[in-house]
Chains A and B, each alone.
Chain A
Amino acid sequence: MKLQHYLGGLEGLGPITVETRVFVEEWEKRIFGIHTAMMALSPQLPLPATPSAFRTVWTWAHLRTGAEGLNPFDYFKYRYYEKWLGGISGYFIENGYITEEELEARTAEYLADPDKPLPQGGAPEIDQRVERYLAEGDSPKRDVAILPDFQEGDTVQVRNVPTLEHTRLPGFLRNHSGVVETVYPGAYGYLTDTGTDGVGAPMPVYCVRFEAKDLWPGNTEPNVTLYADLYAAYVTKPTA
């Protein structure tokens, strides 16, 4: 049971920090750029091949899985982009692009001399593909005809699926009943196969409406409705 899958509704967390900036440190912009480039260069995309040495798959699912797999105390300890930096550095080491020793040694050089220049050069096709990825996106909609089991207005129950690593099911919805608000047209895959958790292959997705008073009995606010977009694998007919 990963706490990161169950964040909705935790109590005792204290006040919101209303920080409107996207990045609070200049260095955070760099890891964001690297992550985006990795997604753009990932080989499963139908984009033109480039001379990039990047040959392994990287998607949002990989980034999320890494963050979800952290010790939950570390998940709260490290800021958002600190988690990205840890996860992405680890990925490049695990997949043999760089060694930990190289990274440590180069980090020490830049710590001693932050203004030491970056290397220059590289194939323009790499940057062209990155721009094209951002402009075209990567839709999970698949040209597969699957009839949804449910229609608008149906009551559904959220399944307590056996999740091992990664999920797209907000944990606080498990076992609750909701009403289908929208049946999204078509079928949608996901960026990775989540195994026994159930998503990956194309399937319908439903927008399901929940009453807050049912999710948090006696412990919520009046007149609040919560909607979640749920893959078909996460919902079932209510038990009698």
Chain B
Amino acid sequence: MTDRFHHPDDREARSAARVRALEALLIEKGVITSKTVDTVLNVFETKMGPFNGARIVARAWVDPAFKQRLIEDAPAAIAELTDLPEGMAGAEGEHMRAVANGEGVHNLVICTLCSCYPWPVLGLPPYWYKDPTFRSRAAREPRAVLKEFGLTVPESTEVKVWDSSAQIRWFVIPERPAGTEGMSEGELAALVTPEAMMGVAVAASA
């Protein structure tokens, strides 16, 4: 039993070698090409990532009617922003929904079963979101979890926890920070973090 949790000293080197071997064999056998994995990774550098979500939130901050449309029909509202990359309704974004923080409500998105995440607006999930400790604890004690992220939510604010257990990929519209009046959308977008768009943080201050 005590040996079960042992990892070899060269744990990472072994995994690196194994995945390289797998990739090599799959290329040789014609399953994928030598460019396939990099093709995938490039999509998450250039097309699907938090840079999209930040622009969407910035627009919601400057345009309350857009924010309302985003809450009512996220895909349609996102499609209004014609200079976003292709694929905003693509993989893991086919059915996205946005919930807004503010007016006595703080939203937190989790996936207790796995790690469902809105790829087009936020890219790939960070380690904390995929961590079974986070996934488990957030379902019962979200305020304590948020405290560990450095966020205190007053008891008078309702905490809504959204478990992404079917087709919806949730994200949060964080509150616009104080002291940001007159900032451009580009400047506002720089304040929006992936953590703020999942509800474990507020947007950065100006």
In the bound complex, residues from chain A placing their C-beta under 8 Å from that of B140 are: 8-9, 11, 212, 215-216, 219-220
B162–A98 touching, CB < 8 Å: no
Complex formed: what's the CA distance from A165 to B152 in Å? Answer: 39
In the bound complex, residues from chain A placing their C-beta under 8 Å from that of B95 are: 139, 141, 184
B19–A37 touching, CB < 8 Å: no
In the bound complex, residues from chain B placing their C-beta under 8 Å from that of A170 are: 112-113, 139, 163, 165
Tally A residues with Cβ within 8 Å of B.
106
A9/B139 contact (C-beta < 8 A), A205-B167, A229-B168 known: yes
How many residue pairs between the two chains, A and B, have CB atoms under 8 Å in the bound complex? 315
In the bound complex, residues from chain B placing their C-beta under 8 Å from that of A168 are: 113, 165-166
Instruction: Please tell me if A34 contacts chain B, counting CB pairs below 8 Å.
Output: yes
In-complex Cβ contact of B143 among A37, A110, A118, A221 (8 A): A221
A20/B137 contact (C-beta < 8 A), A37-B36, A225-B158 known: no
* A90 to B: closest C-beta gap in Å: 11
In the bound complex, residues from chain B placing their C-beta under 8 Å from that of A102 are: 25
In the bound complex, residues from chain A placing their C-beta under 8 Å from that of B114 are: 60, 64, 67
B145–A16 touching, CB < 8 Å: yes
B15–A25 touching, CB < 8 Å: yes
Complex formed: what's the CA distance from A95 to B126 in Å? Answer: 31
* B86 to A: closest C-beta gap in Å: 5
Instruction: Please tell me if B185 contacts chain A, counting CB pairs below 8 Å.
Output: no
B123–A121 touching, CB < 8 Å: no
* A72 to B: closest C-beta gap in Å: 10
In the bound complex, residues from chain A placing their C-beta under 8 Å from that of B166 are: 168, 188, 205, 229-231
Give the contact stretch, choosing among B63-71, B128-136, B171-179: B128-136
- For residue A36, which residue of chain B has the nearest CB? B40
A30/B161 contact (C-beta < 8 A), A52-B30, A111-B14, A127-B35 known: no
Complex formed: what's the CA distance from A135 to B89 in Å? Answer: 7
A92–B142 touching, CB < 8 Å: no
A21–B127 touching, CB < 8 Å: yes
Complex formed: what's the CA distance from A13 to B87 in Å? Answer: 38
Complex formed: what's the CA distance from A9 to B157 in Å? Answer: 21
* Residues in chain A within 8 A of chain B (CB atoms): 4-5, 7-11, 13-22, 24-27, 29-34, 36-37, 39, 41, 51-54, 60, 64, 67, 73-77, 80-82, 85, 88-89, 92, 97-98, 102-103, 106-111, 114, 118-124, 126-127, 130-131, 133-141, 167-170, 172, 184, 188, 205, 207, 212, 215-216, 219-231
* Residues in chain B within 8 A of chain A (CB atoms): 4-5, 7, 10, 12-41, 43, 47-48, 86-87, 89-95, 112-115, 123-128, 130-137, 139-145, 148-149, 155-168, 194-195
**Beyond A17-B128, A33-B39, 17 additional pairs, beta carbon < 8 A:** A16-B128, A16-B131, A18-B128, A27-B15, A36-B40, A73-B4, A80-B127, A97-B25, A97-B29, A110-B21, A119-B27, A122-B30, A130-B39, A130-B40, A133-B91, A169-B165, A227-B161
